Structure 1
Amino acid sequence: MSYQIHPTPNNISCTNTIARMIDGLIFRYYWATEGLTDDDYTFRPVEGSMNLTELHMHIYDLAFITNKTYGGSPTYKKEYLTSFDSARQEILRLYEDVSNRLKEMQDDNQLNEFVVKPKSLDGEFPFWYTLNGHIADCLTHIGQLISWRRINGNPQPKGVNVFLGKQL
């Protein structure tokens, strides 16, 4: 299977821009996790850091809260994800759901309806915080997945072009 980013939208809007960011995140995540081995799942670059599976479940947490913030309802709770692959499929589904929901919005002002309610902080925050928070954090962790698998001797598949959003 070769995953690639969807064609560009016909018009520029806030919702299409955020959806495109999510599509890029999906692309990077898909290829960062494609072809991992059992040995990769337990790899940790240094003692005291998360191993790749623990990092992966943190990415699930970010996908879960992002999807929930943008009006989605996750299919699975973390405790029901029994394998790396089941978590991977749910992460892809959660982000695809967010992207699709954003692309379907007719009015950028609908974004004002979405708020983040972090458990660690009092109050509600506008959707903007998902951009510099959950989405940017997820991209950072996807980069870690790519680095860790490379350090472990299993680089991501050849030909992945993040600019074009396809595997060459």
Structure 2
Amino acid sequence: MSRQNNHFLRHTLATIAYRFQNATHNTSDDFGDFSPGQDTRTVSEVINHMYQLLRSSGMLIKEGSFNSNPSEKLTYQPEIERFSEELVNFDKILIEEELDMPTAYRLLQGPLSDILTHIGQIAMMRRLDGNPVKRGGYSSAPIAIGQFSYF
């Protein structure tokens, strides 16, 4: 087992935090109710799903299995806060628990990549709502392991 696996995943979490905050920064509370069309999730529902993915990933590490029980749905700002807190909690798990490579791969290719996809959806929904994300260079962003507040 290697701490390198955790180091890489912790950087991925910091990347998720940066991109998530960039996608949700300077938005109004009513943006949480935005949906691009019939039978699609609202922004708040997307964030709720992202929270469930992260929470279940922590349970996989701690308890050995994913928890697929739905979480309570909150309004927009509380969903943002809960997801942000779960990023910090998951980072603490990665500090405490040394992961093997198959588990690290599973987390990266599954829930963490899914969360990044959903952040892209939120950014797209912002553009559709008339409030596009400010342009910037993600590859040169000031992302640091263990840092979860950027804006």
TM-score, scaled relative to structure 1: 0.68
- Aligned residue for 1:120? none
Give the drift of 1:32: 1.1
- Aligned residue for 2:57? 66
Computing the radius of gyration over CA atoms, which structure comes out larger, 1 or 2?
1
CA distance in 2, matches of 1:141, 1:88: 13
Higher normalized contact order (CA 8 Å, seq sep 6+, divided by chain length): 2
- SS of 1:24's partner is helix
Give runs of aligned pairs for residues 107-118 of structure 1, distance below 5 A.
Answer: 110-112=98-100
CA distance in 2, matches of 1:142, 1:153: 17
RMSD over aligned CA atoms reads 2.8
Out of 69, 79, 82, the residue aligned to residue 90 of structure 1 is 82
CA distance in 2, matches of 1:127, 1:163: 22
- Aligned residue for 2:26? 35
- Aligned residue for 2:139? 163
Give runs of aligned pairs for residues 5-24 of structure 1, distance below 5 A.
Answer: 13-24=4-15
- Aligned residue for 1:47? 38
- Aligned residue for 1:121? none
TM-score, scaled relative to structure 2: 0.74
Give structure 1 stretches of 5+ with no counterpart.
1-11, 115-124
- Aligned residue for 2:119? 142
Give the drift of 1:147: 0.4
- Aligned residue for 2:131? 154
Which structure has the highest strand share of the two? 1
In the TM superposition, what whole-angstrom CA distance separates every residue of 1:58-91 from its partner, at most 9, and x where no partner exists? 111112112323339xxxx832x64321221111
Which structure has the highest helix share of the two? 2
Whether the 8 Å contact between 2:55 and 2:90 is mirrored in structure 1 is no
- SS of 2:62's partner is coil
- SS of 2:99's partner is helix
Give structure 2 stretches of 5+ with no counterpart.
64-69, 143-149
Change (3 A) 1:67 1:35: farther
Whether the 8 Å contact between 1:66 and 1:130 is mirrored in structure 2 is yes
The one-letter amino acid of 1:129's match is R
CA distance in 2, matches of 1:159, 1:143: 13
CA distance in 2, matches of 1:82, 1:47: 20
